[in-house]
Structure 1
Amino acid sequence: MTVIDISGRIGSGKSKVCKYLSNRYGTNRLRFSDILKDILSRLYLPPERENFQKLGKSLRDAFGDDIVAKAMKQDIIWVKDEIVVVDGVRYISEAEMIKSFENSFIIYVKAATMVRYERTLHRGEKGEEKNSYKKFLISENAETEKNIDEVEAIADFVVVNDGSFEELYSRLDEISKKILKNQASIE
């Protein structure tokens, strides 16, 4: 099994990268946020960034920093796909869980702050279309975002996503070749 995680800051293009790679490999994608979304749904709370952040912090405080990572690891194992694309490592404990799989890769997606802010205004996630730049910067400093630079430091690949989709997809195709080559050498 090959596990590919896509990480990055808010609005960097993680979801686009995940969709592209999922389509390329014909596999499902798993999202860390889906674990939290399931709980929020059960509590009849809206799936908004602030609620995700509060819930994630509460779970980590109550059950340990790796609680969401443990749940995701079980989801990855349960899927049984040859290639699994995971969206959204935000903490070192989550990155370490990804790295616990023999053939695993972390792709960190980055883009300029203003580019990311503009993307959040237009992507259709609940509440983001009304965000001011100031509010966006505040969300950048939320606890859930503070460790992302540490994840970048251990990423296998860093993709700058400030250009066109064609440029992004071209870079992802280069990375995919390296991943597939590595997968073939393990099998």
Structure 2
Amino acid sequence: MKLIGITGMPGSGKSAIINLAKENNIPVVSMGDIVRHETLKQGLILNPENVGKTAIFLRKLHGKEAIVVPCLKYIFEKYKNEKFVVIEGIRSIYEVNYLKKHVFLEIIAIHSSPKTRFERLSARNREDDSNSLDTFIERDNRELDFSIGSVISLADYVVVNEEEYDKFLENLNSLLKKIIMNVDE
């Protein structure tokens, strides 16, 4: 099995590659779903502050690999016969190192400027999205504290999402096909 890890700051465009993977019948597992699930389990509403606090709490309680361990276990249980699985939301170098100990992993980083990301998040209006600049900056800093910057800088592939959306999708689709073809050879 090969994992295709997706990373990027909030609002960078990670969902685009998730949709492409699904269109290509590649299973997708979101690390953020684990955190959102735990947030709700604690009786908290989904908002940037509560989700962020839950992520920090889980890492303090279970260590820096707290989110990736249950994700990989789930992947092995549910998708053991799959050739590829996309894992979205890798945020720390510790998660990368853990995954690389257990599976073949290639990482795609999606990059967009803070201005572009803030505009997208404000428009997207998901429960745990930032709609104020202060909250957005706070969330970015929390992500950077998790070492997402290291994950992005060490990614196998980086796709910039500042251009027309159709061109961005075309680039992502070409990259996904390239990754799949390299394994099939």
Alignment of 1:14-33 (within 5 A): 14-23=14-23, 25-33=24-32
- Residues 181 and 100 (structure 1), Cα distance of their counterparts in 2 relative to 1, 3 Å cut: farther
The equivalent of 1:96 in structure 2 is: 97
Q: CA deviation at 1:45?
A: 1.3
For residues 123-164 of structure 1, the C-alpha deviation after alignment (integer angstroms, 9 at most, x for no partner) is 1212646x222332222112x333111001220100000112
**Letter of the 1:45 counterpart:** L
Alpha-carbon distance in structure 1 between the residues aligned to 2:73 and 2:128:
31
Q: Who is 2:39 aligned against?
A: 40
Structure 1 residues 57 and 100 mapped into 2: Cα distance closer, same or farther (>3 Å)? same
Note the 1:158-169 alignment, pairs <5 A. 158-169=158-169
The answer for the alignment partner of 1:71 in structure 2 is 70
Deviation per CA, 1:157-180: give whole Å up to 9, x if none: 000001122111211122123212
Shift of 1:64: 1.2
How many pairs were matched up? 182
How many angstroms apart in 1 are the aligned matches of 2:163 and 2:99?
28
3-state SS of 1:73 partner? helix
RMSD (Å), alpha carbons: 1.8
SS at match of 1:70: helix
After the TM superposition, which segments of 4 or more aligned residues of structure 1 sit over 4 Å from their partners? Answer: none
Q: TM-score under structure 1 normalisation? A: 0.88
State the percentage of identical aligned residues. Answer: 27
The residue type paired with residue 165 of structure 1 is: Y
Shift of 1:102: 4.3
Alpha-carbon shift at residue 62 of structure 1 (Å): 1.8
In 2: Cα distance, 1:32 partner to 1:72 partner: 6
Residue deviations 1:30-54 (CA, integer Å, cap 9, x gap): 1111112222222221122221211
Mapping of residues 21-170 of structure 1, within 5 Å: 21-23=21-23, 25-80=24-79, 81-126=82-127, 128=129, 131-142=131-142, 144-146=143-145, 147-170=147-170
Aligned residue type for 1:66: E
Given that residues 99 and 105 in structure 1 are in contact (C-alpha distance below 8 angstroms), is that contact kept between their aligned partners in structure 2?
A: no
Q: Which residue pairs with 2:10 in the alignment?
A: 10
Gaps in structure 1 of 5+ consecutive residues: none
TM-score (norm 2): 0.89
One-letter amino acid matched to 1:116: R
SS of aligned partner of 1:54: helix
